[in-house]
Amino acid sequence: MADPSRKTDVFQAIADPTRRQLLSMLGEREMPVTVISGHFPMSRTAVSKHLRILADAGLVKERKVGRETRYRLEPEPLLELKRWLAYYERYWDNKLLALQRFVEGDETDGAIALVASNEDGACTAE
């Protein structure tokens, strides 16, 4: 994980469609749980658990206001995703890919990585 203070992996957190919906909903304004859960076909408690997972990943911030807890998007952890994705941008340029294959020639063995990557498959700046 990029930030060990995050209990939940960002990739894991955004894997669930309900949680992605939550993120888009909480981007514009902070909202209390009851209002949020009104938009979902599941119990308030279920939504609350999804919010906890998002909070554990640092994707959402809670703020107590009176008897309600308001949640708001915290986009910073998405930068990890952006960095991960940036690594693959190089494959979207077909010319670069063709060049790489040409340079490789017929070799089929010896897995020499052209770009360093950690055990998580992420490309980090360290």
Q: Site for DNA (CB under 7 A): which residue of 39, 46, 98, 104?
A: 46
11 sits near a copy of itself (criterion: CB under 8 A): yes
Return the one option of DNA, a copy of itself, none that residue 67 interacts with (CB less than 5 to 8 A, by type). Answer: DNA
| Distance separating alpha carbons of residues 33 and 56, to the nearest angstrom | 16
54 sits near a copy of itself (criterion: CB under 8 A): no
User: What are the structure tokens assigned to 97, written together?
Assistant: 């890919």
Return the one option of DNA, a copy of itself, none that residue 52 interacts with (CB less than 5 to 8 A, by type). Answer: DNA
Q: Site for a copy of itself (CB under 8 A): which residue of 105, 114, 125, 126?
A: 114
Give the SS3 label for residue 12.
Answer: helix
83 sits near a copy of itself (criterion: CB under 8 A): no
Q: Site for a copy of itself (CB under 8 A): which residue of 7, 15, 46, 63?
A: 15
Q: How far is the CB of 34 from DNA (least distance, A)?
A: 3
- ∠ Cα 58 43 63 (to 5°): 35
| Distance separating alpha carbons of residues 77 and 88, to the nearest angstrom | 19
Instruction: List 71's β-bridge partners, or say none.
Output: 31, 62
Q: Which of residues 11-30 bind DNA (CB under 7 A)?
A: 12, 15-16, 18
Instruction: List 61's β-bridge partners, or say none.
Output: 72
Largest CA distance in the chain: 68
| Distance separating alpha carbons of residues 109 and 61, to the nearest angstrom | 48
Residues forming contacts to DNA in the complex (CB under 7 A) are: 12, 15-16, 18, 32-35, 42-46, 48-53, 62, 66-70
